[in-house]
């Protein structure tokens, strides 16, 4: 059973935690898009690990972790991430990089979002993808050309131990194994389907796995969308259920909503079922993992956006308006759910969740028309509920 992990909102949904858990039952873990704009946190055996480009499956010995052709790599960031893992005693012998992945050059970083309009992570992501599609990019394999300039040679040394020159044989050999595709960012940051232009420059949707990994769509059995029980966003762009008040601040503090890559405070708001229904569709999601529901443990009530009201016409809509210029005309329509007012972080069985938590989750399933397979009640590996187990 091969699975894709996809962020179902604007990133930081807890994808890495879910990837790390599911990686225990996978042989090959593949990052297929994005670069070190990602900040993926895994808490394992009491230690916190932060990944940017290295697949979150690296903590298990003996697994192959492949960084696919659809990714972009900032050499200095790759070097320090790998160095950090080695310093912590992590075995990186399973780490492999596609020779077809794109290299972020210093001029890409310099050209990234200079006026801060997008609020990018400033890791050169957009300019690297721009050059790739303009067919003037630099691929990992180019660094190894015999007449490569000095900087290329320096970068080649960094990648040399990890470049997977026989990646075709490697992928063929794993064809009947268990494969986990690890998405970065989220559906609403997708360059084609997200809140354009306030997006990243790659395809975090499930379909991206079939482009950026080297395997085709027939290799995918399940697409697991990871979503928080609320919504966060870093950087600029519309966010209809954003809370600029004490409740938003409460979510930020309790949920520790500060960026893994940039340290920026994340914008917080209520769960938006309109956006999520859209993400289920275009993300190709087949199941959901709902994370951070424990953040609501102390809340008296929890709001859930079920529709938008168009303030110009009074019309109620449940279909996502894709033109972000129109978003200022939409107000969230909320229903209110009673909180459960108890600590649920120790719960391990779905049946043992408080009735009000189960009601909230059941309502999400009803609105989104997709099963919730996993519920996460804390950052640690064991703070996870698998439905039906
Ligand atoms: P990713 O980018 O999707 O992998 O998510 P991040 O790692 O950027 O952010 C998710 C944060 O939430 C991390 O600090 C995780 O350790 C933490 N986290 C994940 N799942 C849960 C959960 O169920 N409850 C709580 N309280 N924290 C969680
Ligand atoms: P993970 O994988 C949250 C956001 C940036 C900015 C926009 C474009 O940890 O979920 P970019 O540097 O990609 O050109 O920035 O996308 N962004 C993320 N937000 N989580 C991420 O990754 C993100 N990667 C990029 O804040 O708004
Ligand atoms: Mg993150």
For residue 261, give the ligand 2 atom closest to its CA. Answer: 9
Spatial CA neighbour of 100 closest among 71, 121, 128: 71
- The length of the chain is 389
What is the C-alpha to C-alpha distance for residues 283 and 122, in angstroms, rounded to an integer? 25
Q: Which of 7, 8, 14, 279 to probe ligand 1 with, by most ligand atoms within 8 A of CB?
A: 14
Pocket of ligand 2 (CB under 6 A): 7, 10-12, 37-40, 118-121, 123, 125-126, 184-186, 189, 200-201, 234-235
**Tens of pLDDT along 43-87?**
998 999 999 999 999 999 989 999 999 999 999 999 999 999 999
Q: How far is the CA of 201 from the centre of ligand 2 (A)?
A: 10
Name the residue at shortest CA distance from atom 13 of ligand 2: 200
Instruction: Return mean pLDDT, the chain.
Output: 97
Structure tokens at 138: 């630099």
Q: How far is the CA of 12 from the centre of ligand 3 (A)?
A: 4
What would the mean pLDDT of 269-288 be, rounded to a whole number?
A: 98
Q: Return the C-alpha torsion angle 276, 282, 284, 287, nearest 10.
A: 0
Catalytic site residue from 20, 27, 40, 174: 40
Predicted TM-score of the model (pTM): 0.97
For residue 183, give the ligand 2 atom closest to its CA. Answer: 2
* Predicted pLDDT at 361: 98
* Predicted pLDDT at 264: 87
Does the annotation count 12 as an active-site position? yes
CA angle at 300 for the pair 294 and 304, rounded to the nearest 5°:
75
**Tens of pLDDT along 286-309?**
999 999 999 999 999 999 999 999
Q: How far is the CA of 319 from the centre of ligand 3 (A)?
A: 27
Does the annotation count 327 as an active-site position? no
pLDDT at 198 over 90: yes
Pocket of ligand 1 (CB under 6 A): 7, 11-17, 39-41, 43, 260, 291-292, 294-295, 376-379
What is the C-alpha to C-alpha distance for residues 302 and 254, in angstroms, rounded to an integer? 14
CA angle at 257 for the pair 251 and 259, rounded to the nearest 5°:
160
Q: Which of 8, 12, 16, 17 to probe ligand 1 with, by most ligand atoms within 8 A of CB?
A: 17
* Predicted pLDDT at 387: 92
* Predicted pLDDT at 129: 98
Name the residue at shortest CA distance from atom 18 of ligand 1: 379
Q: How far is the CA of 153 from the centre of ligand 1 (A)?
A: 37
pLDDT at 389 over 90: no
**Tens of pLDDT along 94-105?**
999 999 999 999
**Tens of pLDDT along 221-253?**
999 999 999 999 998 999 999 999 999 999 999
What is the C-alpha to C-alpha distance for residues 232 and 252, in angstroms, rounded to an integer? 9
* Predicted pLDDT at 388: 79
Q: Which domains, from first to last, does the chain contain? A: 3-226 (3.40.440.10), 227-386 (3.90.170.10)
Comparing 73-82, 186-195, 207-216, 260-269, the range with the smallest average pLDDT is 260-269
pLDDT at 214 over 90: yes
Q: Which of 32, 102, 185 to probe ligand 2 with, by most ligand atoms within 8 A of CB?
A: 185
What is the C-alpha to C-alpha distance for residues 33 and 30, in angstroms, rounded to an integer? 9
What is the C-alpha to C-alpha distance for residues 164 and 236, in angstroms, rounded to an integer? 37
What would the mean pLDDT of 126-153 be, rounded to a whole number?
A: 98
**Under a CB-based contact definition with an 8 Å cutoff, are residues 181 and 4 in contact?**
yes
Give the number of whichever ligand sits closest to the CA of residue 119: 2
């Amino acid at each position: 059973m091969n699975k894709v992990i996809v962020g179902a909102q604007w990133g930081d949904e807890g994808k890495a935690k879910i990837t790390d858990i599911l990686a225990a039952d996978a042989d090959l873990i593949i990052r297929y898009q994005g670069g070190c704009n990602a900040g993926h946190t895994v808490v394992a055996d009491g230690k916190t690990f932060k990944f940017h480009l290295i697949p979150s499956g690296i903590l298990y010995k003996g697994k192959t972790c492949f960084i696919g052709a659809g990714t972009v790599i900032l050499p200095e960031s790759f070097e320090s991430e790998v160095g950090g893992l080695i310093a912590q005693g992590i075995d990186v012998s399973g780490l492999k990089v596609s020779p077809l992945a794109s290299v972020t050059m210093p001029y890409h970083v310099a050209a990234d979002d200079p006026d801060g309009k997008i609020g990018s992570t400033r890791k050169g992501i957009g300019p690297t993808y721009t050059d790739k599609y303009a067919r003037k990019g630099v691929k990992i394999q180019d660094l190894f050309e015999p007449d490569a300039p000095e900087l290329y040679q320096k970068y080649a040394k960094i990648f040399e131990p990890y470049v997977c020159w026989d990646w075709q044989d490697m992928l063929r050999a794993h064809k009947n194994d268990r494969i986990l595709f690890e998405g970065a960012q989220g559906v609403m940051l997708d360059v084609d389907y997200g809140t354009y232009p306030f997006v990243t420059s790659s395809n975090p949707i499930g379909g991206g796995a079939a482009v950026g990994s080297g395997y085709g769509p027939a290799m995918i059995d399940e697409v697991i969308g990871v979503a928080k029980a609320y919504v966060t966003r870093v950087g600029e762009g519309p966010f209809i259920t954003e809370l600029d008040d004490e409740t938003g601040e409460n979510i930020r503090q309790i949920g520790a909503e500060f960026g893994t890559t940039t340290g920026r405070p994340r914008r917080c708001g209520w769960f938006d079922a309109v956006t999520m229904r859209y993400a289920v569709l275009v993300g190709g999601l087949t199941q959901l993992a709902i994370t951070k529901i424990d953040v609501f443990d102390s809340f008296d009530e929890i709001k859930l956006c079920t529709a938008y009201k168009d303030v110009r016409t009074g019309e109620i809509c449940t279909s996502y308006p894709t033109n972000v210029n129109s978003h200022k005309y939409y107000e969230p329509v909320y229903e209110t759910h009673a909180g459960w007012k108890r600590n649920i972080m120790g719960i391990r069985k779905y049946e043992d969740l408080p009735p009000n938590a189960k009601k909230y989750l059941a309502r999400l399933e009803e609105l989104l028309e997709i099963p919730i397979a996993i519920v996460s009640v804390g950052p640690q590996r064991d703070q996870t509920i698998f439905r039906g187990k």
